Amino acid sequence: MELSRKIMSIRPSATLAVTAKAKDLKAAGKDVIAFAAGEPDFDTPENIRQAGIDAINSGFTRYTAAPGIIELRKAICDKLKNDNNMEYDPSQIIVCNGAKHALANTFMAILNDGDEVIIPAPFWVSYSAMVEIAGGKPVIVYTKAENNFMLSKEDLEGAYTDKTKAIVLVSPSNPTGMIASRENLQAIADFAVEKDLLVIADEIYEKLIYNKNKKHISIGSLNKEIFDRTITINGVSKSYAMTGWRIGYVAAPPAVAKCINVIQSHMASNANAIAQKAALEAITGPQDSVELMRQQFEKRCDYIFEREEEIPYISALKPEGAFYLFVDISGTCGKKYKGTEIKNAADFATLLLDNKLTAVVPCADFGMENYIRLSYAISLDDIKKGMDRLAEFVSELE
């Protein structure tokens, strides 16, 4: 029987594949260091866990309104106003099963068959898959390291066609760790307004920033025209170490929010009720744990970057946010490890995992053949061990 042609042509997530292989090796008793996972290694803060327990014990275990409980949507509006300088009405907020689900809902809501979505590469693998599943066409635009991997006006002009519907923007970025400056954002905003496009702004890493000279700016806060065409995506997964709770949200122009609500009500009913209560505590409760986790990530960021800088043939920009180091390994291409030639990042990652039990994500699926991504959402001890192994591996190349 022929299954969905659209889905059969989409590959499963490479990030999850590497994590799975590393987990299998770990389960087999091997001492694997995995720089692969895209989730904080911290426990969800105690007050948030308690809110979840309280929700269960008080019987808050039934369906909720499809877009989420009103207290949470109001709290999200307050947060977006106070932190991001954007004023939304609770009817414009839909709480979803993670930011990923918020994005998937969004693409389904805005795309008709063949509509094009500009996605800057390197890109988080799920954007293009989600666009395709929704019937759209991802248009991948390759950004440059010298431009901090941000989209320029020229990039946008080169990618634009009369089918272009939206531009994806992620800052701080997965996988590059770079943050869009006000100028970057203004260029995208001006282009979107001029060409009548939507902007999907993924702000999931907004609280994890280490570059003291940069702060997170929401593109929707620049002016009224861009606000009216911005769909802001955020959630609690990364900032509050809540990846397993599955709460994200979308804040959208009223017509888009209505469409998303229809999709959500038919396909998911609502996000997990208990997790919505926990997310309410995360957003409205004490925020000191967010800063404590950020400080840990900052220490790790400084350390991993310093170590990477000492290793020959590879290079990276210092991450400004999120928890990824994006490493150019093209200087190792053509070299051999114990007789096997490295042709690209996939070869590099396979040899590194097989020989040094260190897992990194090869970034071909992120649109960059010669880059690997190292997540530093692991302990400093493990980072040290992993970087020792990486340095040893590179020193053994011939």
Ligand X SMILES: Cc1ncc(COP(=O)(O)O)c(C=O)c1O
* Contact characters 114-143, ligand X, x per CB under 6 A: ----------x-------------------
Q: Is 243 in the site for ligand X (CB under 6 A)?
A: yes
Residue whose CB is less far from ligand X, 49 or 385 = 49
Bridge partners (DSSP) listed for residue 340: 337
Q: Is 220 in the site for ligand X (CB under 6 A)?
A: no
Find the part of the chain contacting ligand X (CB under 6 A) among 53-61, 81-89, 98-106, 325-333. Answer: 98-106
d(CA 234, CA 220): 13
Please pick, from the candidates 204, 219, 316, 377, the single residue that binds ligand X as defined by CB under 6 A.
204
Please pick, from the candidates 220, 235, 319, 362, the single residue that binds ligand X as defined by CB under 6 A.
235
Per residue in 63-100, is it b (16+ CB within 10 Å) or e — as a string?
A: ebebbbbeebbebbbebbeebbebebebebbbbbbbbb
Q: Is the peptide bond before 122 cis (omega within 30 degrees of 0)?
A: yes
Q: Which residue is nearest to ligand X (CB)?
A: 98
Residue whose CB is less far from ligand X, 152 or 176 = 176
Using alpha carbons only, give the angle 83, 89, 94 rounded to the nearest 5 degrees: 85
User: Does residue 143 sit in helix, strand or coil?
Assistant: coil
Least Cβ distance, residue 238 to ligand X (angstroms): 7
- Evaluate whether 394 touches 151 at the Cβ level (below 8 Å): no
Q: Is 248 in the site for ligand X (CB under 6 A)?
A: yes
Least Cβ distance, residue 387 to ligand X (angstroms): 22
Q: Are strands 93-96 and 248-251 parallel, antiparallel or unpaired?
A: antiparallel
Residue whose CB is less far from ligand X, 152 or 171 = 171
Residue whose CB is less far from ligand X, 235 or 362 = 235
From the CB of residue 311, how many other CB atoms can be counted at a distance below 10 Å? 19
- The pair phi, psi for residue 351, each rounded to 5°, is -65, -40
Residue whose CB is less far from ligand X, 174 or 370 = 174
Which residues contribute to the site for ligand X (CB under 6 A)? 38, 98-100, 124, 170, 174, 202, 204, 235, 237, 243, 248
